[in-house]
Every structure is written in C-alpha cells, then in structure tokens.
Amino acid sequence: MPRLDGSPVFDALLGGDGVFRVELENCVTTRQRYIENTAILETELEAADGSVVRLVDFAPRFTARGRNFFPAAFVRRVIPVKGAPLIRVRISPQDNWGGGAMAVDRGVSHLSYAGDGARFRVTSDAPMSYVGDGSWFILDKPYAFVFGPDEALSDMPGVIAEEWESRRSSQSP
C-alpha cells in the first residue's frame, strides 16, 4: 500500500519488522491451502491443547454491477474452529522501506496508520483495545479485518468480508 512498486508496509518476509500477524498461544501445527480455483488462502493453527483457529486471507476481486471490482484492499478473517483458542493480533506496519514504525490513531473499530508514503486503515469487529495493544484474548467468535484506504466502510467488517469472500469463491476463475 498504496502502490505495488512502493515501500512495503508489512515487510517481515523481506527481513523487516512490519507485520500483520495472528498468533495462537502454544501453536504446535500450521497447515495452509488455497481454496480450489481461487486466490483465497486458508491457514489453520492448532495449539497443544487441541484448539484450532482458521485464518482466511484474500484480496477482493469480483464482478459487481457489470464491472470488475478490484478495491485496493485485503481481508483477513479469523475464525475459531475448535476449543477456546487464545490469540494475539499484532499489526505494526513499517514506513519508508523499513525505516520505522508508522504513526497510528486508534478509533472505536479501526486503526489508522500514516507515514511518508502511505495512509491506510485496518477496520475490524475484533476488540480494538486488545488488537491495538497486541494483547492476548480468547477467540470466542469470528472476526474480520479489512485493510484498505483510510475511509469508513459501508457496512460492518464481518458482513463485508463474508460478502466479498462468497462473491469471489462463487465465480469461476
């Protein structure tokens, strides 16, 4: 964000410190797969106590009102599958090619980030006090995170995430 050829904000894979990570306490197993004929990635994390969390990651891409819909956004859904998983969500984007952390403003349902080359928002129905602090909490229901422009969403993040996922997964490639 905001440009494909711009400075990456979540640059951990490149050796930086920028992350958008969901951690499961005492995680012992991780499995990943793409949903067939889509670019939707499912990751399952399993803890030593048998609790399981599913992460669903995708960029929305579908046809709406006769036009292709490709917003500058991505979605992460965090879904409890089994037990009472204890998770932590860490969001710490970097600015200026890993030069430092971005400034953050916390809202009721979002975190807004600003730096030299980017301004964006992560909107969620998860408890933002835990997310903003990187605190552990029990995942007792599904939560959605919508990463995109620093603008309000037209509906609740969970509703948007499920709608975008179902529209994409129902279309042929």
How do residues 104-138 score in pLDDT, each as one tens digit? 999 999 999 998 868 899 999 999 999 999 999 99
CB atoms within 10 A of CB 81: 14
User: Rounded distance, CA 127 to CA 69, Å?
Assistant: 29
Kindly state the percentage of the chain with pLDDT values over 70: 94
pLDDT single digits (tens) 43-58: 999 999 999 999 999 9
Does residue 173 carry a pLDDT above 50? Answer: no
Q: What is the mean pLDDT of residues 95-99?
A: 84
Q: Could you tell me if 110 and 123 are in contact, meaning their C-beta atoms sit under 8 angstroms apart?
A: yes
Task: Tell me how far apart the alpha carbons of residues 149 and 136 are, in angstroms, rounded to a whole number.
Answer: 27
CA distance 43 to 58: 12
Label the pairing between strands 67-69 and 27-34.
unpaired
Any idea how long the chain is?
173
Given this model, what pLDDT does residue 84 score? 96
Give 2-18 pLDDT, tens digit per residue: 566 777 888 888 888 89
Contacts (Cβ under 8 Å, ≥6 apart) of 99: none
- Is this prediction's pTM over 0.85? yes
pLDDT for 72-81, tens place per residue? Answer: 899 999 999 9
